[in-house]
C-alpha cells in the first residue's frame, strides 16, 4: 500500500466548520453559562440538605427495561424519544430520559429498603430525549430532582413541593404556580378508566390518529394530547378527582392543606396526568407566567413548565420488587429556568472575586511564580494572573481592566531577594514584602 503524498494530506485539512459540530440538540456549557448551572445546582443542593435530602448519582446509561417497564410503553418518552441501543456485548441499554426509575432501581439494588424510611434523595445531571430542539427544549438537558421513597404520607408530597418552591424563590423565579391533580390509585383508576373510555368511544371519529391509538393502548395519555382538534374533547372529558376513592380523596385533601398552610399558590388542573406512566395519586407541575408584549398586540401570558413530579406508589413493583414501595418526587428543568428573566445570580462556591493580580517579569520570575501562587492558595487568597504574558504594561493593563484592587509584582530582583512588590492599584503606592510574610500581609489588605 502506498503512503499518501504530501499534496493529498494538505488537501484533507483543514476540517470544515460543520464537521466539528456537536450532536443536534446538545451543547457545550462554557464560561458564564457553566457557572450559572453550577451555581443553581449548588444552591438547590444546599437547600435540599436543609430539608433532609441526601445526594445520589446514578449512571447515565441504564438497562432499557428500567424505562420501558416504568415510564411505560405507549408514552412519548419511551416510544419516540429514548436513545436506546444495543451494546457490542448485546445488552439493550438507554441513555436515561429521566431520573426517577433509575433512583428506584438504585434504592432496590442497594438495599435502601432496610434504611430508616423514607429515604430522601436529591440529584442533578444530564438527561436525554430525542425531541425536536427549540428554545428551552434540548436533546441533552439538565434536571435537579428530589425523591422521597418509602412513605405514602402526604407530608412527603408537600415536602418535595415546598423544597422546590424554596429553590425557585432563592433563584429569583417569580410568579410560579403549582398545577396539581390526583389521578387516584389502583382502587379508583378502574372506574375512571371505564368512564374515560365510554366518553372517548363516542368521540373517536373526531380525535387525532395518536389518540385513536392511545384509546387502545394507554387511554389516560389522551388527556396529555397537544393536538388542536383534541382540545375541546379533552376539556370536557371526565375528571379524575370525581372518581377518587375515599383514601385517595383524603390524601389529596391533606396535600392541598399543606400547600395552603405553607402559602404555596396552586391550581387544581383536572387535565394534568403527566407524560409518564408510573404516577399514582398526586401529580404536579411548576408553571411560570411571563407577560409577552408584542407591538400592536394585546399583552399575552406565556406559561412555561419548569418542573414536574408526583407520587409513584407502584413503580417499585414495575421494576421487579416483590413488595410495593411508595414514593414521591419531582424534577426541575434547569435549562428552562435559566432562560427566565430577572434571576438572582447564583455564583458557584469556587468562584471568588480575585483580590490580587499576579504579575511576573522575566524567566526567573516565571520559574518562581507558581510557588507564590501556591502560598496564596494555601492562605485562601483568590488571585488572577496571565502567566503566559511577558511585559509589565500588558499585565498591568489586564489587572486594571479587571478592576482588581492589588497587584503582586515579581521581577528578577525580587526573586533574588525572596520578596515581591505589592501595589495598590488605586493609589499606585507600592511596598516590598518578604515572601514569607506575603500571605499575612495580603490578608490584612482591605
Ligand atoms: P418531566 O416532567 O418529564 O419529569 O421532566 C421534568 C422537567 O424537565 C420538565 O418540567 C421540563 O422543565 C424539563 N424537561 C423535560 N424535557 C426537557 C427537554 N427536552 N429539554 C429541556 N428541559 C426538559 C420527570 O423527568 C420526572 N422524572 C420527574 C419526577 C421525579 N417525578 C417523580 N420524581
Q: Supply the DSSP string of 65-125, one letter for each residue.
A: HHHIIIIITTSHHHHTS--EEE-TTS-EEEE-S-SHHHHHHHHHHTTGGGSSSSEEEEEEE
DSSP 31: H
Q: Which atom of ligand 1 is nearest to the CA of 331?
A: 28
Gap between the Cα atoms of 102 and 268, Å rounded: 29
Give, for all 446 residues of the chain, the pLDDT tens digit: 333 344 444 445 555 555 899 999 999 999 999 999 999 999 999 999 999 999 999 999 999 999 998 888 878 899 889 999 999 999 999 999 999 999 999 999 999 999 999 999 999 999 999 999 999 999 999 999 999 999 999 999 999 999 999 999 999 998 999 999 999 999 898 899 999 999 999 999 999 999 999 899 888 889 888 899 999 999 999 999 999 999 999 999 999 999 999 999 999 998 898 888 899 999 999 999 988 888 888 888 889 999 999 999 999 999 999 999 999 999 999 999 999 988 999 999 999 899 999 999 999 999 999 999 999 999 999 999 999 999 999 999 999 999 999 999 999 999 999 999 999 999 999 999 999 999 999 999 98
Q: Which atom of ligand 1 is nearest to the CA of 99?
A: 27
Name the residue of 333, 335, 338 to mutate for ligand 1: max ligand atoms within 8 A of Cβ. Answer: 333
C-alpha cell at 166: 424554596
- Residue 122 CA to ligand 1 center (angstroms) comes to 14
Q: Is 131's C-beta closer than 6 angstroms to any atom of ligand 1?
A: yes
Q: Is 129's C-beta closer than 6 angstroms to any atom of ligand 1?
A: yes
Gap between the Cα atoms of 154 and 282, Å rounded: 9
Q: Is 333's C-beta closer than 6 angstroms to any atom of ligand 1?
A: yes
Q: Around Cβ 421, how many Cβ atoms within 10 Å?
A: 16
Q: Tell me whether the omega of the peptide bond preceding residue 14 falls within 30 degrees of 0, making it cis.
A: yes
Q: Around Cβ 319, how many Cβ atoms within 10 Å?
A: 20
Q: Is 102's C-beta closer than 6 angstroms to any atom of ligand 1?
A: no
Query: Helices H, strands E: what count in the chain?
Result: 16, 16
SS3 52: coil
Amino acid at each position: 500500500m502506498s503512503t499518501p503524498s504530501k499534496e493529498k494530506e494538505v488537501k484533507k485539512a483543514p476540517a470544515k466548520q460543520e464537521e466539528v459540530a456537536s450532536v443536534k440538540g446538545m451543547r457545550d456549557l462554557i464560561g458564564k453559562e457553566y457557572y450559572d448551572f453550577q451555581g443553581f445546582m449548588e444552591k438547590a443542593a444546599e437547600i435540599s440538605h436543609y430539608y433532609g435530602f441526601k445526594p445520589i448519582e446514578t449512571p447515565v446509561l441504564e438497562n432499557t427495561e428500567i424505562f420501558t417497564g416504568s415510564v411505560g410503553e405507549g408514552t412519548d418518552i419511551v416510544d419516540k424519544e429514548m436513545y436506546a441501543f444495543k451494546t457490542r456485548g448485546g445488552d439493550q441499554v438507554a441513555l436515561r430520559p429521566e431520573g426517577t426509575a433509575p433512583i428506584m432501581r438504585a434504592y432496590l439494588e442497594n438495599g435502601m429498603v432496610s434504611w430508616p424510611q423514607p429515604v430522601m434523595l436529591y440529584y442533578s445531571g444530564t438527561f436525554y430525549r430525542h425531541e425536536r430542539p427549540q428554545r428551552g427544549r434540548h436533546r441533552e438537558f439538565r434536571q435537579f430532582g428530589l425523591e422521597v421513597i418509602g412513605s405514602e404520607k402526604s407530608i412527603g408530597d408537600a415536602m418535595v413541593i415546598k423544597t422546590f418552591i424554596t429553590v425557585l424563590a432563592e433563584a429569583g423565579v417569580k410568579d410560579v404556580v403549582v398545577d396539581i391533580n390526583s389521578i387516584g390509585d389502583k382502587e379508583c383508576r378502574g372506574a375512571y378508566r371505564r368512564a374515560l373510555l365510554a366518553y372517548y368511544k363516542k368521540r373517536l371519529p373526531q380525535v387525532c390518529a395518536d389518540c385513536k391509538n392511545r384509546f387502545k393502548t394507554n387511554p389516560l395519555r389522551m388527556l396529555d394530547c397537544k393536538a388542536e382538534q383534541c382540545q375541546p374533547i379533552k376539556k370536557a372529558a371526565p375528571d379524575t378527582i370525581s372518581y377518587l376513592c375515599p383514601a385517595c380523596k383524603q390524601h389529596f385533601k391533606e396535600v392541598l392543606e399543606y400547600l395552603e398552610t405553607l402559602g404555596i399558590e396552586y391550581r387544581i388542573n383536572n387535565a394534568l396526568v403527566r407524560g409518564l406512566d408510573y404516577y399514582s395519586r398526586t401529580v404536579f407541575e411548576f408553571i411560570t407566567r411571563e407577560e409577552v408584549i408584542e407591538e400592536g398586540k394585546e399583552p399575552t401570558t406565556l406559561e412555561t413548565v419548569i418542573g414536574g413530579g408526583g407520587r409513584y406508589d407502584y413503580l417499585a413493583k414495575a421494576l421487579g420488587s416483590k413488595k410495593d414501595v411508595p414514593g414521591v418526587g419531582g424534577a426541575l428543568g434547569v435549562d428552562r429556568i435559566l432562560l427566565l428573566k430577572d434571576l438572582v445570580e447564583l455564583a458557584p462556591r469556587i468562584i471568588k472575586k480575585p483580590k490580587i493580580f499576579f504579575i511576573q517579569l522575566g524567566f526567573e520570575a516565571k520559574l518562581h511564580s507558581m510557588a507564590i501562587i501556591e502560598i496564596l492558595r494555601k492562605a485562601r487568597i483568590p488571585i488572577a494572573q496571565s502567566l503566559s504574558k511577558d511585559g509589565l504594561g500588558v499585565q498591568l493593563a489586564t489587572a486594571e481592566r479587571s478592576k482588581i484592587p492589588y497587584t503582586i509584582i515579581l521581577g528578577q530582583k525580587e526573586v533574588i531577594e525572596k520578596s515581591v512588590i505589592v501595589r495598590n492599584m488605586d493609589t499606585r503606592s507600592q511596598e516590598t514584602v518578604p515572601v514569607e510574610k506575603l500571605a499575612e500581609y495580603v490578608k490584612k489588605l482591605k
